[in-house]
Amino acid sequence: MITLKKEAELVYMRKAGKIVADVLDMIGGIVRPGVTTGEIDRAAEDLIRKAGATPAFKGYRVPGIPSPFPGAVCASINREIVHGIPSSDRCLEEGDIISIDVGTCYSGYYGDAACTYPVGRVNAVRRKLLDVTLGSLEQAVSVAKAGNTLGDIGYAVESFIAPHGFGLVRDYSGHGIGAHLHEPPQIPNYGRPGRGITLKAGMTLAIEPMVMAGAEEVEVGRDQWVVMTVDGSDAAHFEKSVLIRDGEPEILTPWTWA
């Protein structure tokens, strides 16, 4: 069931979202060649806990996967789309791109967002992938307002991506968020205008385009967590949590990216 959030709940969601944004802004300053994903994970968890929150992903369980997720963040490099496990053995290299997904829980309410960062100088194809994926998120957020539909959000992403010849991840989607990390509704990154659930003021949604430079087929790694492109092409992932209002949406995870 989709829940409309009350102001008392939004107080905690804004705090959870601000902590997520602070983590992503911090990570933008430490991503560089030679840094390990384990170092990024530890820095993120330290900031989250010092802010009085807990890492939402750490210990998260999914039916069918025997081991809970071990990291405070998801760290996915190059062909990895989402759910990459941080490790002290994974070192960033010049020219990589890395997606960092962060979730927090503050006083029982959640925040969730993601950015994909260039590691040093990246090639033109990777830079375009980042710019286009971020642009698709901005388009999706711009139509996330009361009276529009989930189909409008999906169409905003799909129609922005299609002219560039990139592929969309269709097996994974955005989601509602609130007192649970994942709540109804699912938010596909494709759709038809005017179709699907009508958005209402008070809904809180995590919108997250996942885009591939190549074909759209994906596979899951041996760890049963990381999702990767089958053809080895690069992937990018950007996400913001938003509050639906009658006018422009409120960004609950106000990270910055350059």
Q: Which residues contribute to the annotated binding site for substrate?
A: 83, 182
Residue for token pair 């709540």: 183
Q: Return the C-alpha torsion angle 159, 194, 245, 100, nearest 10.
A: -40
| Binding site residue list for a divalent metal cation | 101, 112, 175, 208, 239
Burial 206-232 (b: 16+ CB within 10 A, else e): bbbbbbbbbebebeeeeeebbbbbeee
Contact 120, 94 (CB under 8 A): yes
HSE-CB for 158 with a 13 A CA cutoff? 17
Residue 174 exposed, middle or buried by CB count within 10 Å (0-12, 13-18, 19+): buried
| Binding site residue list | 83, 101, 112, 175, 182, 208, 239
- Pair of tokens at residue 237: 């992932």
Peptide bond into 118 cis (omega under 30): no
